[in-house]
Amino acid sequence: AYEDLNGNGKLDLVDENAAQFLDRIVAANDQTMLIYFDGTPPNDPELRDGNGHYPTPGYNLYRQGTGCAETDIGGTKGGSPAPACTPVAPEWLPMTTLYDLALATDPTFGRLMCKSGNDSVSSASGGGAVHSGRPATYPGSTDPNLSCNADGGGYTYGKATCTTISQGPCRGTITTCTPVDYWERPTPVPADWPCAAK
């Protein structure tokens, strides 16, 4: 379901370079699809649903099937049985079939209006330098900016600062982060080394 913001009576799809959407998705159903066949659908076994039915000319509702996860079939590792699961076969439904539409509060539903699909681009800059030498002074072991490795063999100091920039509604985002340097524990271990050896 959508809100026709520009009042042209149809859901407008936008190119990947669009600055904004023209309409707004207000509700969606990720298991039921509306499919249109212009003329008689081909008698192709691939189109037959789990009940042996084929689509009809014109508009059809198609409910995707649901399977069982592997743990649902064989039980979970470690003992307790997995909850029972009954797979549901895909099926063609009459247009009079009622189905639920979940309110589309998630902004990613808007990407359904992208002509090129709904891929999101995201990237991050690389890490900081690795130092094997000694800094002018080591941070204190209780310094809140200190983050030691689990084995105490190295640390980072400070937190990466990340910035996310939108490339437009159909092109996702780019995330860049300032690098944080990593300090390795030298040998022999200095007396003022801030990380406890495990």
Structural domain that includes position 148: 120-198
Is 24 contained in some domain?
Answer: no
User: Is 61 a member of any domain?
Assistant: no
Going by C-alpha positions, the residue among 186, 24, 18 that lies closest to residue 112 is 24
Please report, for residues 51, 135, 157, 197, the alpha-carbon distance to residue 130 in angstroms, rounded to integers and kept in the order given: 61, 12, 12, 19
- Quick check: is 169 in a domain? yes
Please check whether residue 113 lies inside any domain of the structure.
Answer: no
**pLDDT tens-place string over residues 121-155:** 555 555 678 888 888 999 999 999 999 999 999 99
Residue 73 parent element (H or E)? helix 70-74
What is the pLDDT at residue 156?
92
Segment of 78-87, 103-112, 189-198 carrying the highest mean pLDDT: 189-198
In a domain, 53, yes or no: no
Does some domain include residue 51? no
Render pLDDT for 28-61 as a digit per residue (tens, 0 to 9).
888 898 899 999 998 899 999 988 999 999 999 9
Q: What is the pTM of this model?
A: 0.47
> Is 67 a domain residue?
no
